[in-house]
Amino acid sequence: MKITECYYETAGIVNLKTDNKLMMKILPAIALLLLTSTTISSLAQQTNTTQIYTAIDTKMLAIPASMTNKTEDVARYINSNFSTEKDKVRAIFIWVASSFEYDVDNMYALNYNEKREEKIRKIMMLKKGICENYAAVFDELCNKCGIKSWIVGGYTRHNGQTADLAHAWCAVLIDGEYRLVDPTWGSGYINDNKFTRKIDNKWFMQPGESSVKTHMPFDPMWQMIYYPVTTQNFALGKTDIDKSGVYFSYPDSIAAYEKLTHLQQMEAEARRMEANGVKTTMAYNYFTNLKGNIDVARQNELINTYNDLVGMYNEVVHDLNQFINYRNKQFSPIQPDAMIQKMVDVPAARAEKVENGLMRLKGKDKRIDDLMAPMLRSVKDAQKTLDEQRDFLKKYFSKSKIGRKSMFYKYSWMGVPLN
């Protein structure tokens, strides 16, 4: 950043962001899972609840084709045709489960750095995707319809086997109750590498006690039960609720989670995972990746803080230069004394914040420490000049109008102005 005719140079923002892509490469690729035909057969005894939702489903699937290309349009249709949260979330589920084809060919073609917006854009445009796309568009529609929803990552167990593929689904809060919704498993199944659409209502609005039998979130908070099942017991198929364990108030944890920064959310998730046990390969791989991302986020937070301090210092420089220019014009045009004093007091207070902020960062990142010494010298120089200007104003304000004018000149012994 450059300031024309500057008495003090501003400091440049440092671009030291750690590359998240490098961190993601420490793990092998894990694919996202769709319910297989063998799992469908194991669920053949489930109660058919289709008739309960017939009216909602019929109305939702009558949405004009022209309104199915953007989530904004789909949400507008839902909000116009359904009034309760329960009806809206059902409408979202049936539309997502019925509108997209599972992308079998790209089941393993994951992009960990792909943004949420891109995941949604792809499935809306191509009308196909994998479970992270299904979950993302479901969650987006919930948000646009005023329904609390969260995307949940984890893995599954079926046919007596713990899957070695990651999966994504959603959690929703309806009328004070947390429920699992899995729009991918609810949409159909794969048989002989071909996707067959078959709406399965089992995966709509499941309570935690039943969903944990098949779905294990990486973060135990999203089991949505007061006595979480350990990863080890899940792998062994021991998913009955054991009330002799430690009580965990997941609603309070979710409420607190929403108020945290992204870094704080990851740190809290890591603590919960450690407490619940990291006993499976899937959990271990995710936990290792999570810890790496936490390190990256911590480094980036320090860098962001440093850059914020640089920006604050640049404001000090700008304000100080403004004051010096104004003083060089002999405080013309005239302003009240309080306004002139403020022109020095504000950057002085800001410079003190910069100094204190830099000292709090000291020793936390070597790259920042290397930049800090010259930065601190610059801040000290600015503070020295600000103190000089404050001393000048103290004398200036103590004088009469004529006395103030005389402070801008130096006189010889004969009384002739030298400048």
375 CB-side CA count, 13 A: 28
Predicted confidence (pLDDT) per residue in 235-292, tens digit:
999 999 999 989 999 999 999 999 999 999 999 999 999 999 998 899 999 999 999 9
| Residues in a beta bridge with 417 | 411
Report residue 255 as tokens.
């409420």
Quick one: how far is CA 312 from the chain centroid? 25
Predicted confidence (pLDDT) per residue in 211-230, tens digit:
999 999 999 999 999 999 99
Q: What's the Rg (C-alpha) of the chain? A: 31
pLDDT at position 34: 55
Predicted confidence (pLDDT) per residue in 44-101, tens digit:
334 455 678 999 999 999 999 999 999 999 999 999 999 999 999 999 999 999 999 9
Given pLDDT bands bounded at 50, 70 and 90, which one contains residue 112? low
**pLDDT tops 60 at residue 314:** yes
398 CB-side CA count, 13 A: 6
**pLDDT tops 60 at residue 371:** yes
Predicted confidence (pLDDT) per residue in 140-155, tens digit:
999 999 999 999 999 9
Given pLDDT bands bounded at 50, 70 and 90, which one contains residue 107? confident
* Runs of H (alpha helix) within 100-238: 116-126, 131-144, 208-211, 231-235
Average pLDDT for residues 336-362, to the nearest whole number? 96
Question: Which pTM does this prediction carry?
Answer: 0.77
pLDDT at position 109: 67
- The three-class DSSP label of residue 31 is coil
Residues 13, 305: Cα–Cα separation, whole Å:
11
**pLDDT tops 50 at residue 32:** no
pLDDT at position 164: 83
**pLDDT tops 90 at residue 21:** no
Average pLDDT for residues 100-117, to the nearest whole number? 83
Residues 77, 81: Cα–Cα separation, whole Å:
6
Report residue 108 as tokens.
């393993």
pLDDT at position 258: 96
Given pLDDT bands bounded at 50, 70 and 90, which one contains residue 39? very low
Average pLDDT for residues 26-41, to the nearest whole number? 40
Given pLDDT bands bounded at 50, 70 and 90, which one contains residue 108? confident
Quick one: how far is CA 57 from the chain centroid? 33
Strands 204-206 and 128-129: unpaired
**pLDDT tops 80 at residue 124:** yes
Percent of the chain with pLDDT over 90: 76
Residues 250, 225: Cα–Cα separation, whole Å:
7
Average pLDDT for residues 381-402, to the nearest whole number? 95
- For the beta carbon of residue 205, count every other beta carbon within 10 angstroms: 18
pLDDT at position 106: 87
Average pLDDT for residues 384-406, to the nearest whole number? 95
Q: Range with the lowest mean pLDDT among 119-133, 193-207, 361-375? A: 361-375
Q: Which residue has the higher pLDDT, 376 or 30?
A: 376
pLDDT at position 352: 97
Q: Are 92 and 138 in contact (CB under 8 A)?
A: yes
Residues 228, 250: Cα–Cα separation, whole Å:
9
Average pLDDT for residues 349-378, to the nearest whole number? 93
